[in-house]
Chain A
Amino acid sequence: GAVVSQHPSWVICKSGTSVKIECRSLDFQATTMFWYRQFPKQSLMLMATSNEGSKATYEQGVEKDKFLINHASLTLSTLTVTSAHPEDSSFYICSARPYREPGGELFFGEGSRLTVL
């Protein structure tokens, strides 16, 4: 199956710093990628839909200025957690669909665990 790669897989940072997480589709192109956040023992909550070449669409309650999303190419989307605080500590997961199959399978990255001290 298709592969979605996330980097880094885990990161620890100090409160107030910014952290960038990359999501790459390795063997397909994706005009749309999705960013999810998952707290321990909970489901995946969609944060935003990342659209190549345009602004991301954020879900209700997600701070646009806190979670900056950039989808610079058909294979790369980045999530930047700005001025991170301990409450931002979570498991962040991206996903993507091959653009030729808009209604098909959604492939997920391995996730990035962020710990803010």
Chain B
Amino acid sequence: DSGVTQTPKHLITATGQRVTLRCSPRSGDLSVYWYQQSLDQGLQFLIQYYNGEERAKGNILERFSAQQFPDLHSELNLSSLELGDSALYFCASSVGSSIISYEQYFGPGTRLTVT
């Protein structure tokens, strides 16, 4: 158990809908990262938040957005869903953005199926 929690575990929705994925980082971790993993694909970095502020953006679509709240949990919002958005979405957390540690600890993921 990495200490990172994600809900829900599974999500099935229709095209055009909007969903929210939730992540709680490990206790003490200030950074949260979101990744997308499609079938047989590697991990694609979407976005990072550090202590409530957006720190970096990767290949995140404009239909997707995220935020990190004062209690450090994070939500990833996916809107106008398309079939191609079906994937595993992982949240990871790390201590911070300092040079000391870049070790990221992953949650169990949310499997999104768009029908």
A and B found bound together: no
